[in-house]
Amino acid sequence: MTRLEGPLADPRPGLWIAPRLARAGTVSGAVPQGYAAYARIFHPIRAQLLNWQEDGPVTVESRSLRWEELAQMRGTVAHPLMQWPAILAGYRNPVWNEPGWHYEDPLVGALPARTLADVVTLLTLHTSTPDRCLAGLWDGWGWVAAPADPAPRLELPARNYLLFAGELAVFSELGWQERNGWDPIQSPNLLWPADAAWFLASEVDSDSTLVGGSAELIRNLLQGGTFEAVEVPLDGDVTRIGDVLNEAPD
């Protein structure tokens, strides 16, 4: 089992990032400009078909769902900049004594552990430094003792981050969060190898993850199979108002 080093006392390994970021809310507001291509990884949805008995709900079926599948089911448009509330098209999960499908919101601010492991396995093939990566953790999470932690922050335009270092393989291991003192559902908000061959960002308020890298890497991500990814433009608006093909909910 491998461990992360940190929080690092020196944030300089991340100082190259800020000058290459553009407008907040766009792809290049989260991932530095200069990569050949960019992808958006949609955090998976858990869907449950519920029925009811006298003592409460019974799960008839439970499965992972892709955003594209849900959009088809709801009659909305699946596209690279789609947003979760918009593709739901006003759907309300069943309440007490109502049968029907219950859709859990995608995880926000973190890539689910299994998806992270699958993505990292692929990313490892596209760097010359898999034994040395940098991970940024937003210092505003409630479980991070920010005022008490004297470690310097990597200061980016919108947020500050604690930096950690280690092997990429860490993030493919079961239980790596607990061994490193992280919240069990948290993933790095920023992740890049020492050679900066690619960059991954799971923005704090976002239910998807962005990656910049070579054209070959992005093609491989799109063909990943175990997760849902699409190519996105550098200036793509990934905020709630960026979905112009589906009607925003009231």
At 149, the pLDDT band (50, 70, 90 cuts) reads low
pLDDT for the residue 66: 95
- Residue 134: helix, strand or coil by DSSP? strand
**Residue indicated by tokens 């559902």:** 185
Average pLDDT (37-61) is: 86
SS (H, E, C) 141-199: CCCCCCCCCCCCCEECCCCEEEEEEECHHHHHCCCHHHHCCCCCCCCCCEEEECCCCCE
The pLDDT tens digits for 212-223 are 999 999 999 999
Q: Which pTM value belongs to this model?
A: 0.93
